A and B are shown apart, each in its own frame.
Chain A
Amino acid sequence: NAGVIQTPRHKVTGKGQEATLWCEPISGHSAVFWYRQTIVQGLEFLTYFRNQAPIDDSGMPKERFSAQMPNQSHSTLKIQSTQPQDSAVYLCASRDWGSQNTLYFGAGTRLSVL
């Protein structure tokens, strides 16, 4: 079991560019979550998929952030027109629905917007 895999580990973009972050959940896990981690805000929930369907995107900034899960083996988080305040570590987590909410996190993607 390779765990949750996130790529790339580091991404540097210029202001106004697009960034796409990838997540491969643990095989067999039916739920995928995205969190954003910053020193100031800590771990913030962004969005959640269950069986590939979007369930809750209440944490997503509305205008430039979007997430998809086209198949059970990967999810993407896309940020359009990146801004310096988007700089953060973006964490993906997956869980087995019977695991009492236990999340398994990837190592994260550190996004730096210059």
Chain B
Amino acid sequence: GDSVTQTEGQVALSEEDFLTIHCNYSASGYPALFWYVQYPGEGPQFLFRASRDKEKGSSRGFEATYDKGTTSFHLRKASVQESDSAVYYCALGGTGGYKVVFGSGTRLLVSP
């Protein structure tokens, strides 16, 4: 079945560092790919999505590019802030049409 792999369980950075969180997926066809962010005590919030090869999604300085060749959708941000500390989930919208499958999440800790 469809699946999403996030290799980093936790990432610790300092403010203004560059961020990369790796996401690889396994699915047939062209699933929609998503990033969600979850702050303590809240549900996951939609960050952005991409639906086709080479499409870039972006929001709040975060971005990721859909790469069907490497089946990846890595999250990047040029300069992180302490307020970016949260858990980030990569997800795919199943090619069956409705089910969204989430990765295991990556906890980002940014120190001032």
Tell which of A43, A56, A93, A100 touches B93, judged by Cβ atoms closer than 8 Å. Answer: A100
Residue of B nearest to A102 (CB): B46
Residue of B nearest to A42 (CB): B104
Within 8 A of A (CB), among B27-67: 32, 34, 41-46, 49, 51
Sorting the interface of chain A by its residue count into under 10, 10 to 19, 20 to 34 or 35 or more gives 20 to 34
Within 8 A of A (CB), among B84-103: 89, 93-94, 98-103
Residue A108 interfacial (CB < 8 Å)? yes
Within 8 A of B (CB), among A77-114: 91, 93, 100-108
Residue of B nearest to A89 (CB): B43
CB of B49 within 8 A of CB of A48, answer no
Residue A21 interfacial (CB < 8 Å)? no
CB of A43 within 8 A of CB of B32, answer no
CB of A105 within 8 A of CB of B45, answer yes
Of the A-B pairs whose beta carbons lie under 8 Å apart in the complex, a sample of 28, sorted by A's number, is A4-B43, A42-B103, A42-B105, A43-B44, A45-B99, A45-B101, A48-B98, A50-B98, A56-B98, A91-B44, A93-B43, A100-B32, A100-B49, A100-B93, A101-B32, A101-B93, A101-B94, A101-B98, A102-B34, A102-B46, A102-B49, A103-B44, A105-B43, A106-B43, A107-B41, A107-B43, A108-B42, A108-B43
